[in-house]
Amino acid sequence: MSRAPRSLAGKVVAITGGARGIGRATAAALIVQGARVAIGDIEPELAERTAKELGGGTIALQLDVTDRTSFASFLDQVEQRLGPLDVLVNNAGIMPVGPFAQETDAMAARMIDINLEGVIFGSKLALERFLTRRSGHLVNIASIAGKLGVPGGATYCATKHAVVGLSEAIRGEVHGTGVSVSVVMPIGVNTELYSGLPQPRGFRTVEPEEVAEAIVGALQSGRYEVYVPRSLAVTARLNALMPTRVTDLFGRVLGSNRVLLSADHTIRGAYEQRMAQTEAGTYAGPAAAKAQPAQTGSETAPAQPERVTETV
C-alpha cells in the first residue's frame, strides 16, 4: 500500500534563483500546497515583483549564492520572518553554451561558483538546521546533463555531474536522521536559460511548471531521483549500460550531440548578453543591463569579481 503524500501546508520553503524560471514556477506550485515561501535572488527588485505577483505571503530577499555570508543571512532572515526552515531548493544556475576550447576561464569559474559552490554552501547551511531538528528536505536542481555529457556544455555538465554526486553522498550521510534529499534532473526546460536551442529527435522541451510539479511530488513522497519527464530515467540508465560507440550513434541520429552547439544566437541574445556581463563582472540586474553599452566583436570589460545568479 502506498504511503499518503506528505502535507506541505505550513512548511517553510526557501528557493534560490526564485525570481524567474523554474524557481518562480516552484514557488507558485508550493503556494498552492499551502507552503510558506521565500525566494532569494541576486536581483532584489525582480524578486520583490515576483513575490507580489505570486501572493500567498511570499517574501523576497536578496541572495548571492556564491557568497556564504549572503547565503547564511538569507536563511537567517527566512527563519526570522517565516519560522524554522523545512525545505531548501537549490535552484540557482547559469548555462552558457559553446565549444569548450573557446570558453573563457572566467566563465568556467562563474559556472563553478554558481552551479556548484552555491549548492555546496546552501546544502551545508540547510543541513546545520535540519540535522539538529531531525527533519527537513534538501532539493538540489541538477539536469540530465548531470548524467550525460553533452557537447557544447562541458563545464556546465561538469557542474551538474558534481551536483548529482554531491546529492548522492549527502543522502548516504543523512540516512536515518529524518532528513530527506532529492536531486532533480530535467531535460531542457522552456526558460530563458534554454532559449534558442533546438530539440533532439524524440524528446521535447518541458515547461517550468512540469519541473515544479515534480519537485512538489518529491517533497510529498520523499523520492530521491527525480527525472523530468519521468521517462528520462530509462534514457539515463540505458546510456550507462550501452557501449560508447552505441551512445555516439544514438547522439548523431537523434541530434542530441549538436543541441548545445546549434544555438540560435538571435533568439538567445538577451540571455547571452547577461552572460557576457556576468563574465566581465558587470551584471547587476535588468536596470544595470539596460545601462550597459552593447558589446561588439570580442571586446569585453576588464575582468573583476562577479556577483550574479541566474535561474535554471
- Provide the grid cell at 160: 551538474
- What does the CA dihedral 230, 309, 128, 77 come to, rounded to 10 degrees? -120
Alpha helices (H) in 15-153, listed in sequence order: 21-32, 44-54, 68-82, 105-111, 118-133
- Give yes or no for a contact between 64 and 46, defined as CB atoms under 8 angstroms apart: no
Question: In the annotation, is 156 catalytic?
Answer: yes
| Residue among 156, 194, 227, 271 flagged as catalytic | 156
Sole residue written with cell 504511503: 3
Compute the 3-state secondary structure of the chain and give helix, strand, coil in percent, each to the nearest 5.
50, 15, 40
Q: Are 117 and 66 within 8 A, CB to CB? A: yes
Cell of 96: 552558457
Contacts of 241 (CB under 8 A, 6+ apart): none
Q: How many CA atoms lie within 13 A of 17 on its CB side?
A: 25
C-alpha distance across the termini of the chain, in Å: 36
Tell me the sheet residues that pair with 14: 38, 88
Q: Name the residues annotated as catalytic.
A: 156
